[in-house]
């Protein structure tokens, strides 16, 4: 149990931190640089640092954490991601429920679900914006207040939708070609 004196000290430090964010950021950077140079985990400040961010992050450029701290960090990050993903998928699910929107489909596993553009604008958006999909996209949808035009689909039904679209396009094209060749041969209508 902390003494009242210690509690007061902590509360003061918290306030001070809010007032001077830049100074505290500088403390952090100094501390981290010192740890990097000494090869000590920047999280616990005790164990030798052995893992790069590549063991579950991006690039793996810097050895930063010891293994237990890395695992704890990854778990926390993955948990936060899963919560966000489930929230967004549920919002775009049938009646706000975490499930695939395809009629009769019962897939509820977040690993098997993703967000679909109802009007197939996904490719254009990927080409014209920096959002490539994935977690940053879920975050963006939430930040933008859940815009219209999206639905939750399982991966099988994403593909099924694509097949139906391609088939319809093919049928459309082939029927136009057929019509054109009939006209060339002198169909009764053109005679």
Q: Quick one: 69 or 88, whose CB is closer to Zn ion?
A: 69
Which span (56-64, 82-90, 149-157, 170-178) binds Zn ion, by CB under 5 A? 149-157
Pick the piece of the chain touching Zn ion (CB under 5 A) from 32-40, 55-63, 66-74, 120-128. Answer: 66-74
Distance of closest approach, residue 126 Cβ to Zn ion, in angstroms: 22
Helix (H) or strand (E) holding 184: helix 155-184
Provide, rounded to whole angstroms, the least separation between the CB of residue 31 and Zn ion.
14
CA–CA dist 148, 136 (Å, integer) = 18
Q: How many residues belong to the chain?
A: 191
DSSP designation for 150: E
- Residues 6 or more apart from 86 whose CB is under 8 A from it? 98, 110
The C-alpha angle with vertex 38 and arms to 64 and 78, in degrees rounded to 5, equals 15
Choosing from 88, 99, 102, 116, the residue that interacts with Zn ion (CB under 5 A) is 102
Rg (CA), the chain: 27
Q: Does 105 bind Zn ion (CB under 5 A)?
A: yes
Residues that bind Zn ion in the complex, under the rule CB under 5 A: 41, 43-44, 47, 66, 69, 100, 102, 105, 107, 154, 157
């Amino acid at each position: 149990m902390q003494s009242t004196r210690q509690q007061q000290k902590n509360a003061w430090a918290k306030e001070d931190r809010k007032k001077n964010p830049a100074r505290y950021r500088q403390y952090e950077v100094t501390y981290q640089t010192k740890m990097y140079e000494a090869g000590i985990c920047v999280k616990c400040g005790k164990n030798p640092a052995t893992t790069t961010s590549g063991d579950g992050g991006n690039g793996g450029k810097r050895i930063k954490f010891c293994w237990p701290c890395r695992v704890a960090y990854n778990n926390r990050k993955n948990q936060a991601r899963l919560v966000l993903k489930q929230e967004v998928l549920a919002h775009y699910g049938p009646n706000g429920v975490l499930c695939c929107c395809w009629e009769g489909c019962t897939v509820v596993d977040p690993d098997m679900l993703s967000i679909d553009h109802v009007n197939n604008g996904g490719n254009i958006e990927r080409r014209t914006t920096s959002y490539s999909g994935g977690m940053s996209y879920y975050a963006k949808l939430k930040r933008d207040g859940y815009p219209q035009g999206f639905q939750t689909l399982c991966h099988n039904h994403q593909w099924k939708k694509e097949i139906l679209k391609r088939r319809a396009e093919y049928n459309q094209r082939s029927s136009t070609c057929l019509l054109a060749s009939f006209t060339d041969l002198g169909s009764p209508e053109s005679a």
